[in-house]
Amino acid sequence: MTAGAVALLTLLPGTAANAAPRPVRVSQASPYAGCTIGGTPTSVNFTGGEVEPMVASDRFRPGRVVAAWQQDRWNDGGAHGLAAGFSTDGGRSFREVTWPVSRCAPGGADYERASDPWVSIGPDGTVYGSSLSFDGTTARNAIIAVTSYDGGRTWRNTTPVVADTELRFFNDKNSVTADPVRPGSAYQVWDRFESLPDGSGIITSPAMLSVTRDGGRTWSPARIIVDTPRLQQTIGSTIVADPRTGMLYNFYTSIRYTDTSADNVEFSRYEVVRSFNGGRTWSQPTIIAPDTSVEDVDPNDPKKRLRTGAGLPFPAIDPRTGELYVAYEGTDFTAGRFNQIQLVHSTDRGRTWSRPVRINGDPTTPAFTPSIAVTEDGDVGVTYYDLRTLRPGNTTTLPTSTWLTVSPRGGARFGHERPVAPVFDHLKAPVAGGFFLGDYQGLNAVGDRFRALFVAANDSPPSNPTDVFFNQLRSFERPDDRTDSALSPQATAAPPAAHPVRWRPVRPTP
């Protein structure tokens, strides 16, 4: 099916009717709507609900775009399966296909549910996919790799790179990155959560790695690249690769608890490890910044939780200079009251990091779930959601805006901000540990354009609560926009105490 440019989202009463660009709807009717696999007596399935998208573009064939997302989200973890879309015209239209990573998909892996989709494209055009696949009725779970050699039309080489059957082990928060200078090489990373034998509490959760050197046909045995002592975990591992040198950086959140109950946190912070040799060996961790995020909620009704990207790092690299950036949610600028979008920057290959700057446009309202990319010219783009159009006293809807903000190289001047899509009602999203659009959204850069893949809720029947949309925007619309941007506010005081908000070390809700 081909999706054209549509505007299915409705401006809610009292929202700003600014000139939002028209996004392209990528997701279509659910290919798994008739599937009944994976339910439990307490499970609720949001059939037609798409969440948590990721996007990749082919740097050498810029017309090729590949997207993936969760299809038919469950309230208690994962979805019926993962779906994907591919474009050959730079995102003007997409065709939808299924991923063979769960039993709901044709020829799919023998797991009831799937979550955490990720895609990356290598310099030879090979597309690598990653899935967290698991059962809703047993403890079985795996990280599964898939590969496409035709731009995302078909997927093959369905390979579990790790699989567990015991309740005390759960593999989570996977991602995959194609090596930009070694064709045929790609890297899967994730955390392997070890709890008490009954699945409660925490023992440890190291960061794991599996590598392919043959274009995804085979993957190496899983091994630890960030070891964690007892009572400490990693989460959110994401590798970015330097396209000039092939140097690899793995970014993640590190959390330490005082005891196995995980009721008290000793620290939560963002860290990075480096590899100079294609993932064979890794450095010791470098601390980037503390995690100061709090739980995202409806400000007018705090009992309504929003499940967002709080507590996760979102990294990117300048392809020309190798400068590194990490965007994340934090409360350094609100004295711990609500999250803003913060960014730190490194010019020495991740050894030292700047103080955070606040980059979202409205400092008076919660902002959440950043995605980040850097153009060939060094322009730094970040997409995010915020609640600036919510009126005091409104508890019946939660108007949510989607923004792109851009800074010239260095990430210090985020004054150029534009809407990515019309405002939508967040309270129509699936509920899974809170109203849920995804722990992450997708963003990449091709030439001087940012390509955003994101979820928005629909003003339509409950049978179609959300859709995945694509939009493409220039980094700066006018030359003066680059030079006229004012300096973004920089944190000067010590950050508030860290409070990890979602990644509880009971069995994760993927």
Task: Please write the tens of the pLDDT for every residue from 414-430.
Answer: 988 999 999 999 999 99
Which two structure tokens, joined as six digits, stand for 411? 């990430």
* Residue 340, SS3 per DSSP: strand
Q: What's the 3-state SS for 125-183? A: CCEEEEEEEECCCCCCEEEEEEEECCCCCCCEEEEEEEEECCCCEEEEEEEEEECCCCC
Q: How much is the pLDDT for 471? A: 98
Position 509 in a domain: no
Position 505 in a domain: no
Position 16 in a domain: no
Task: Please write the tens of the pLDDT for every residue from 471-507.
Answer: 999 998 877 777 777 789 898 766 666 555 444 444 5
Position 489 in a domain: no
Which residues span the domain enclosing 333? 24-32+43-484
Q: What CATH number does residue 160 fall under?
A: 2.120.10.10
Tell me the longest C-alpha to C-alpha distance in the chain: 60
Position 467 in a domain: yes
Position 499 in a domain: no
Which carries the bigger pLDDT value, residue 482 or residue 62?
A: 62
Position 296 in a domain: yes
pTM: 0.95
Q: How much is the pLDDT for 68? A: 99
Q: How much is the pLDDT for 18? A: 44
Q: Give me the number of domains the chain comprises.
A: 1
For the cut 90, the answer to whether the pLDDT of residue 397 exceeds it is: yes
Amino acid at the residue 121:
I
In the chain, % of residues over pLDDT 70: 93
pLDDT, the chain, mean: 93
Q: How much is the pLDDT for 21? A: 67
Rounded Cα–Cα distance for residues 111 and 101 (Å): 7
Position 151 in a domain: yes
Task: Please write the tens of the pLDDT for every residue from 78-132.
Answer: 999 999 999 999 999 999 999 999 999 999 999 999 999 999 999 999 999 999 9
